[in-house]
Structure 1
Amino acid sequence: MNITIKNMVCGRCEMAVKVELEKMKLPVVSIKLGEVNLSRELTDEEIHKLSINLERLGFELLVDKISKTIEQIKNLIVELVHYQKDQLKVNLSTYLSECLNQDYSALSKLFSDNEGTTIEHYFIAQKIEKAKELLVYDELTLSEIAIALNYSNVAHLSNQFKKVTGSTPSYFKKMKENTRKQIDSL
């Protein structure tokens, strides 16, 4: 049985969910961002209890198809931007269509109708948050950050950064106050 969980955006989230599933003695096959595979179906009582336990941890058990699909889109983008070391070799629409085995225009409409933003804007927001993170760490140059985030050049990254944040990457780096956002709040 596959279950979809909202707000699982990092390795610590996966560990927290795993601990909760183990406490409930549920048979986990695998866990990845936003998704858990169990070796058997859960009873209604188990689903209810799991839902309550996950909500206490800041997660949400998703049961309807629309919510699951939107969460899968978000998780694929988060994984792509924040955790995947290799650059995307195809465009985002092809990547999402292939991963979810659905037509991109249908995915795009579903996402926009339910999230109030486009997939592309969500993708850009994730890339800018990753750029902020890398700027704060101060280990890479702006050129290296642009390459790491698959921008065509530094100017493209800088323009997008300013459009989203209102400041240039250089100004952001000099700011004393950290204005980064949590991934799950984007």
Structure 2
Amino acid sequence: MVCSRCVKVVRTELQENGIDILNVELGKMSYRENGNKDLKIINEVLEQNDFEIIVSQEDILTENIKHKLIELLNDLPIKDNKVFSKYLSDILNTDYSKISKVFSYTTGKTIEQYFINLKIEKVKELIQSNQYNFTEISQLIGYSSVGNLSAQFKKHTGKSLTEYKNMNKNFRKSLDKI
């Protein structure tokens, strides 16, 4: 689960299927077990909604990393003093080399690649909001210049910032698909 709507869907769908939910938050759910069928129902509901149960410690760490990076992007502007390797290491209380190895192993991409993809999607969102110009967006997202943002955006989308804005269409990816 990567957003508040995901939490709402999981809570609602499970309650409608008779699961006694204690708590649902990003990436976590707890429930009061009422019988042997509960886990099967939970799996079915999650699968129907494109979610899955994560049980390995590596997958749990990977999901925590994703959530922390998404939270970082939701708290704009990104502070220049936030080196995300230190940020992740501190917030997850784990050595960054372990965090990095586990993430790469479980996702097939580096944390840096994932974070760039998240930032590009955030840029698309900000462009579509029409609240900020490109310079302001580059500052909010933590780029040193609009030129750096433009180059990275074009590299990842194949379109310039202006081309994307002029398309007036939503070509954003869902965060759970990044």
Give the TM-score of the pair, scaled to structure 1.
0.83
Count of aligned residue pairs for this structure pair? 176
Is 1:135 paired with 2:135?
no
Aligned to 1:26: 20
Query: Residue 174 of structure 1 is aligned with which of 159, 166, 170?
Result: 166
Letter in 1 for 2:124: K
| Alpha-carbon shift at residue 113 of structure 1 (Å) | 1.8
Aligned to 2:52: 60
The amino acid of 1:68's aligned partner reads I
CA distance in 1, matches of 2:83, 2:35: 40
CA distance 1:174–1:62, shift in 2 (3 Å): same
Contact 1:21 1:28 in 2 (8 A): no
TM superposition shift of 1:41: 7.2
The answer for unaligned runs of 5 or more in structure 2 is none
Q: Which residue of 1 aligns with 2:82?
A: 90
Opposite residue 47 of structure 2, the aligned amino acid is E
Q: State the shift of 1:47 in Å.
A: 2.8
Q: Is residue 19–residue 31 contact of structure 2 (8 Å, CA) maintained in 1? A: no
TM-fit CA distance, 1:140:
0.9
Indicate conservation of the 8 Å contact 2:88/2:96, yes or no.
Answer: yes
User: Once the 2 structures are TM-superposed, how far is the Cα of residue 45 of structure 1 from its aligned partner?
Assistant: 4.1
Residue aligning to 1:5: none
Assess, with a 3 A threshold, how the Cα gap between structure 1 residues 135 and 107 changes in structure 2: closer, same or farther: same
Deviation of the 1:59 alpha carbon? 1.0
Unaligned runs of 5+ in 1: 1-7
Higher relative contact order (CA 8 A, sep 6+): 1
Matched, 1:35 2:42: no
The AA in structure 2 aligned to 1:10 is C
The match for 1:17 among 6, 10, 13 is: 10
Change in CA separation of 1:44 and 1:126 when aligned onto 2, cut-off 3 Å: farther
How well do the aligned residues superpose, as a CA RMSD in angstroms? 2.2
Q: Percent identity?
A: 39
**Maintained 8 Å contact 1:87/1:148:** yes
